[in-house]
Structure 1
Amino acid sequence: MADIDTSGGGGKHKGGKKRGKKLSTRVDFTPMVDLGFLLITFFMLTTSMSKPSTMEINMPFKDEKMNVDDQTKIKESQAMTILLTGKDQIVYYFGIGDKVQNPLVTDYSRNGIRKILLEESKKRNPSIDSISIYRTMLKEKRINEETYKKNVSRIKAFKDGIIVLIKSDDKSRYKNLVDILDEMNITNIGRYAIVDIAPGDLKMINENPYVKK
């Protein structure tokens, strides 16, 4: 609201010379303050708070008293090991023990570890592409969230699906671990675990000529 103040200036002065009145304006910002509080209250009541997102991490359970028969056994054809090393590089190989295939080097790009995981997952789990169909059905509200999660869990738990072992050396960064866990979620890898790196894995990294030192 703007008020016009006519109290200042103008009138007769010494010498009998008459001057025109000077009009000054004064702006009242009280209504603007009220409007500001109304807007703040409106946004506080209508804006939904963001929910914290959680990341699922499967850690191996260590029990020295556990029998050998009770331990989870991984088939050679299912095992894939990912070694996180420095310079944002990944060394990966397939197999277990003495039957390990030649280790290869890749990165965290779309055409790197993500492409490899997608290809290997499809080889072992033909139903893995069905997850995108269920996701579309959920988005279109043709199924509820409970049905979606149930079907996705069933597909990811396919008994002959790929099993990924994630290991990191002392040169890798915390960001690298977060990135590879994101890739597990993006590529719908249902079974993976973070385990300690073995001396043989460190030797494999150090002796690989394609790993940046």
Structure 2
Amino acid sequence: MAEIVESGGGKGKGDGKVRAKKLSTRVDMTPMVDLGFLLITFFMLATTLSKPTSMTLNVPDKQEDKEEQETEPLKASKVLTVFLGRNDDVYLLDGIASNDDKAPEELKKVRFGTELRDGIFKSQKRVNSQFEKDEEGNLPFVVVIKPTEVSTYKNVVDILDEMAITKTKRYAMVDFLSDSEKELLGDRIKPQPGDQ
């Protein structure tokens, strides 16, 4: 509330002149502060807080028996190996083992998005046309995802999104690179001074 406070005024120091009283105003800010807190409270309650986002990740079923089941070794010709590199680079090795002599010339560098998607679809088409479904009715195409030291968490999320977009049912995340894979990728996966 505004108040008018009188100050000074009265008779001068004997000069005979009558001076006007000086008026000063003081504004009481209490109601404004109350209004501010009411507005802050209203907007805090009326706003939607950001919800945590999550993504689905398919994991194998728990095995009842603890003994490892023997499975047929995975043939390189049925596999698309995806190496996650620095600066959102992705390296594809389609249907060839990393220790094969043709591997260095077959290793393709692509980017996330349409380039990667086209590479996955092309490999999927090649494998599914050459090989039949297994006894359980699964398609033979498998993607092996291999993050490296220079890849980021965002790259892993992006590649899992690509698996969902391309409807790839069988994929595995492997955080181990063999010696032949390290040799094949060379400097592409070595940390550099600018990397975090």
The TM-score normalised by the length of structure 1 is 0.61
Q: Is 1:166 the equivalent of 2:145? A: yes
Name the CA shift for 1:105/1:117 in 2 (closer, same or farther; >3 Å).
Answer: closer
Contact 1:57 1:193 in 2 (8 A): no
Is there any run of 5+ residues in structure 2 with no aligned partner, and where?
A: 126-136, 191-196
Share of identical aligned residues, percent? 36
Output the CA distance in 2 between the equivalents of 1:161 and 1:8: 94
Deviation for aligned residue 1:76: 3.0
Name the CA shift for 1:86/1:102 in 2 (closer, same or farther; >3 Å).
Answer: same
Output the CA distance in 1 between the equivalents of 2:73 and 2:31: 70
Instruction: Give the equivalent residue in structure 1 for 2:68.
Output: 66
Output the CA distance in 1 between the equivalents of 2:67 and 2:179: 24
Select the residue among 163, 167, 173 that pairs with 1:194: 173
Instruction: Give the equivalent residue in structure 1 for 2:39.
Output: 39
Q: How does 1:52-131 map to 2 (within 5 A)?
A: 52-57=52-57, 65-69=67-71, 76-77=77-78, 79-86=79-86, 89-97=89-97, 102-106=106-110, 112-123=111-122, 124=124
Instruction: Give the equivalent residue in structure 2 for 1:11.
Output: 10
One-letter code of the match for 2:9? G
SS at match of 1:205: helix
SS at match of 1:82: strand
Deviation for aligned residue 1:120: 3.6
Is there any run of 5+ residues in structure 1 with no aligned partner, and where?
A: 107-111, 126-157
The TM-score normalised by the length of structure 2 is 0.65
Flag the structure with more relative contact order, 1 or 2, with Cα contacts below 8 A and sequence separation at least 6.
Answer: 1
Contact 2:148 2:189 in 1 (8 A): no
Instruction: Give the equivalent residue in structure 2 for 1:182.
Output: 158
Aligned residue pairs total 167
Deviations 1:159-193 (A, max 9, x none): 548543221333x14x2x42242243156144432
